[in-house]
Amino acid sequence: MENKLKKILIVGAGPSGIGQECELDSAAFQALHVWKRLGIETFLLDNNPYSVILQEMNADHVYIKPVNTDNAKHVIESEHVDAITSVFGGVNALKVIQRLNKNGILEENNVDIIGLNKDNIDLFNNENRLNQRLKEYGIPTPDYYIVSNFDELRNVIDKISFPISVRPLDPKTRQQRSIFQNMEQVTNEADNIFDESKSGKCLIEREIVGYKEIGTVSLRDTMGTKMMISSLEDMNPVGVNSNDSVVFTPSQTLSDTQIQMIRSISFEIMDVLGIKGVCHVQFALNAETDDCFVLKVNPSFNMSTTLAARSTGYPVALVTSQLLLNYPIMKVKLPERFHKFTSILQPISDHITVKIPIWPFEQLPEADARLGTKTKSIGSVIGVGRSCEAALLKGIRSSQSSPKDVLPSYSELSEDELISQLIHPTDIQLPILFEALSRHYTVEDLHELTKIDRFFFIVMASIDQSRSYILQHQNDPKAFRLAHEMGFGDGMLSSIWHINIDKLRRKDSYKTYKMIEPTAGEFPEQINSFYASYEIDNESNQIGNKTALVIGKGRNKIGPNVASDFYTSELLIQLKKIGFNTVILNNNPNSASLAPMMSDKQYIEPIQLGEILDVIQTEKPKYVFLPGNRHFLIRELSKYAEINLVILPPNQKNAVWYRSHVDFAFDLLVTDDQIIPISTVGFKSEDGSDDINLQTDYYVPYGKDALNIDSLVQKAKVAVKNQNIHGLVQVLFYKDQDQIKITGVRPLRITETVLLNMSTGINWIGVLVRMATGHLNIEKIKKEVPKIDSSTHFTVMQASFPFKQLGVYDYKKDRSLESGAKLSIGYTINEATKKLLK
């Protein structure tokens, strides 16, 4: 089939933050490969420095500018694109395209909207109009009222009674509803909700707290052919945001009739709204009466669509990118490792996947940790297993910060404190539920207190009973096998039994790996995504002799963690370019590094010592790449002489500090016998502080004052020679009256490595990979590095923070608390900085 589109503009999502990791970038990366194969020119508007496609696309096809209507209009008129899409950009991208459509810019320039019907696009982000349209077709949505002031709000409450759900109409930012149980709560929050609406109006609904919350992810092509990829069941009932709930996929407690009902409604919604490609629909379901209401319709990639793809093995992004071009699903072509019928077969799972949210309260303890309708999680992890027990326990292990694979205990809580936690869930809900089970709370008691379905407590009780058996049967072969079948890790058993992990591993001779693929073994697939099980048949074998294993970041938390996933993705890309088979171990479903085309093989398992050693035993990699902040794993893996460990990103504990005040720095490449200066770097903070931890804006080159470059380079080289640090090294300086002194020497941070990539046009992660594997051509690098401070423009990176979304305002903007960043380029520092404010 001939595709008529030749040029497509992807409107990006901007900086990551609460409720958004790398899932949009992951999908866009896959679409870019498909469209390139089909001869389509792709352009990108985005200012997220941690976007993999921003790095991998041709520089002249990337517009590093804020995602807004004016900049999108500029790209359209400059590049004469045929089509534009918000599918990979989320809510903000959709709003930009809505304004372009309303202003007539798309029609004037003959630009098609792909993925959405131009006549229906304004329904999205407008709860009132969307509900009206769905009701016209008999699609069930909750009854609602629109009010313009507090008096009208109070009159409606008198009619429908508490609990109620209130959300801003035409919201200024991401739309989320607030649930109120009494008038005092309404009085405290009403002004904020009205202020969040562009029109000053709010939509009120009778709240359906306690209903099951169910999601579907489906596809629809240009011919109207539809397919449900997966159902997603929140463990928490309606009242806790789906991003903040544990999620099981496929759904576990619904009857076949209920699944068919939500499937049919999802399909009808896609038909009514003319959605083409992927669509996520969220439902509230009364399991006893089968009453069902549509809560949300999302016609773009998000965390739920990515979860569906990771859990089923179905290539959602690869298929969607072709459906957007008007290919019928029957004509979709997939890479050879997929069966020719994969795209047209509704996935069947022979395994369970459980998503566990990750919250930022560890770093922001003053934030309100109570779970409600507003997203507070910063990311998620998944566990995959043959049973719900194994999948849930693997997910819990992956979500923990302990490097020794030990779960937290809350046995010190009083009974009153425990009951309060059960009724008002917080980020520690799961360990609290296990604590209640260990105190012999019945399934019925817990269901009554939490409104969580009894089934999930039966699963937890099974894990708790298995733990008791394991405790009482130390070193027993049956207990050992039961532990692994239930998802317990070697680190957990080592802690429970007080046995060295190597002794445990010698008993572990029957671990097998199962492929995550969408046909449950019906067709031969080579998708190369695996999870561990304990069965007879092993489906994963060594991929090749020249292999590199990359250990992913796993759980995301506040700090440069999205940047870490960018770094991991680039490690895989660069290793592939120099001829390595690439294998990744990761468990973050939203990671771009887990995109199917990013590596040759993926293991989705907890990032713990036992799991890493198992993968090494199977793959026998030549190199193992491990992040420098994994100090426990570095120490333990270094004990194995046969493991060639490469620490990238580098370990910041190798830094040497003389004082914390910094004015500027030099970045250098340091090999065994050469030191190559690359660039100067300047730092700024919001309050003018020269404390390096508070300087959250950085720019290349420094350019603020005239510097004696030759003299400072010599100082930097002497400082580096005195330290045992190789790779990308930063020497930091401060001004002490008329003198310039060295304040520290450190490995270059992840975020600033990304900045250096963007400012010099050299992929420095690729340089480090070649250096670590003996493939570096140092003379070539020396020729490519521009003369220091010779650039005609300034590249500025500014960290972004989640304080507003989490309702905390007293924190200083510290580098360790960032949730994303913005990038800007200008001829002066002021020009580049001003662009960040648009």
Give the Cα separation of 360 and 350 in Å (integer).
33
Looking at residue 795, its pLDDT comes to: 95
Residue 700's DSSP bridge partners are 795
Looking at residue 536, its pLDDT comes to: 87
Residue 441 lies in a domain: no
State how far the alpha carbon of 460 is from the alpha carbons of 241, 315, 393, in Å: 22, 31, 9
Residue 781 lies in a domain: yes
Looking at residue 430, its pLDDT comes to: 96
Per-residue pLDDT tens over the stretch 615-625: 999 999 999 99
Say whether both 180 and 220 belong to one domain. Answer: no
β-strands 623-626, 645-647 pairing:
parallel
Would you list the DSSP string of 472-506? HSTT-HHHHHHHHHTT--HHHHHHHHT--HHHHHH
Q: Is the dihedral of CA 340, 345, 351, 356 positive or negative?
A: positive
Joined together, the tokens standing for residue 544 give 């090749």
Give the Cα separation of 26 and 317 in Å (integer).
9
Phi, psi values for residue 12, rounded to 5°: -75, 180
Interval 715-743 mean pLDDT? 92
Say whether both 698 and 804 belong to one domain. Answer: yes
Looking at residue 373, its pLDDT comes to: 86
Say whether both 750 and 625 belong to one domain. Answer: no
Strands (E) located in 190-314: 202-206, 212-220, 226-234, 247-249, 277-285, 292-298
Q: Determine the longest span between alpha carbons in the chain, in angstroms.
A: 79
Say whether both 272 and 258 belong to one domain. Answer: yes
Look up the CATH number of the domain holding residue 343: 3.30.470.20
Say whether both 659 and 578 belong to one domain. Answer: no
Say whether both 246 and 153 belong to one domain. Answer: no
* Residue for token pair 């520089």: 59
Is-contact 215 305, C-beta < 8 A? no
Per-residue pLDDT tens over the stretch 655-670: 999 888 899 999 999 9
User: Domain boundary residue among 114, 135, 160?
Assistant: 114
Per-residue pLDDT tens over the stretch 86-135: 999 999 999 999 999 999 999 999 999 999 999 999 999 888 899 999 99
Joined together, the tokens standing for residue 346 give 């509704």
For residue 625, what is the DSSP state? E
One-letter amino acid for residue 414 of the chain: S
User: Domain boundary residue among 307, 323, 347?
Assistant: 347
Is-contact 453 248, C-beta < 8 A? no
- Chain-wide mean pLDDT for the chain? 92
Q: How sure is the predictor about 509, in pLDDT bands with cuts at 50, 70 and 90?
A: low
Residue 414 lies in a domain: no
Interval 326-330 mean pLDDT? 95
Is-contact 680 703, C-beta < 8 A? yes
* Residue for token pair 């969580």: 452
Say whether both 701 and 815 belong to one domain. Answer: yes
Residue 801 lies in a domain: yes
Please, what is the Cα angle at 553 between 518 and 361, to 5 degrees?
105
One-letter amino acid for residue 459 of the chain: V
Looking at residue 83, its pLDDT comes to: 97
Per-residue pLDDT tens over the stretch 684-716: 988 888 888 888 899 999 977 778 899 999 999
Whether the per-residue pLDDT at 719 is higher than 60: the answer is: yes
Residue 525 lies in a domain: yes
Say whether both 616 and 761 belong to one domain. Answer: no
* Percent of the chain at pLDDT exceeding 70: 98
User: Domain boundary residue among 347, 369, 391?
Assistant: 347
Per-residue pLDDT tens over the stretch 435-450: 999 999 999 999 999 9
- CA-nearest of 533, 395, 412 to 456 is 395
Look up the CATH number of the domain holding residue 86: 3.40.50.20
Per-residue pLDDT tens over the stretch 330-372: 999 998 888 888 899 999 999 999 999 999 998 899 999 999 9
Is-contact 63 45, C-beta < 8 A? yes
Interval 457-478 mean pLDDT? 94
Query: Which secondary-structure segment (H or E) carries 732?
Result: strand 727-736
Residue 204's DSSP bridge partners are 145, 166
Per-residue pLDDT tens over the stretch 269-325: 999 999 999 999 999 999 999 999 999 999 999 999 999 999 999 999 999 999 999
Look up the CATH number of the domain holding residue 171: 3.30.1490.20
Q: How sure is the predictor about 559, in pLDDT bands with cuts at 50, 70 and 90?
A: confident
Say whether both 786 and 664 belong to one domain. Answer: yes
Residue 52 lies in a domain: yes
Whether the per-residue pLDDT at 80 is higher than 90: the answer is: yes
Give the Cα separation of 357 and 607 in Å (integer).
16
Is-contact 326 251, C-beta < 8 A? no
Across 30-34, 179-183, 197-201, the highest mean pLDDT is recorded for 30-34
Residue 379's DSSP bridge partners are 358
Coil, helix or strand for 155? helix
Give the Cα separation of 731 and 716 in Å (integer).
6
Domain span holding position 19: 7-114
Say whether both 166 and 311 belong to one domain. Answer: no
Say whether both 202 and 222 belong to one domain. Answer: no
Whether the per-residue pLDDT at 386 is higher than 60: the answer is: yes
Coil, helix or strand for 452? coil
For residue 76, what is the DSSP state? H
Lowest average pLDDT, out of 149-153, 420-424, 764-768, goes to 149-153
Q: How many domains does the chain have?
A: 5
Looking at residue 508, its pLDDT comes to: 60
Q: How sure is the predictor about 409, in pLDDT bands with cuts at 50, 70 and 90?
A: confident
Say whether both 723 and 814 belong to one domain. Answer: yes
Residue 62 lies in a domain: yes
Residue 373 lies in a domain: no
Whether the per-residue pLDDT at 782 is higher than 80: the answer is: yes
Residue 360's DSSP bridge partners are none
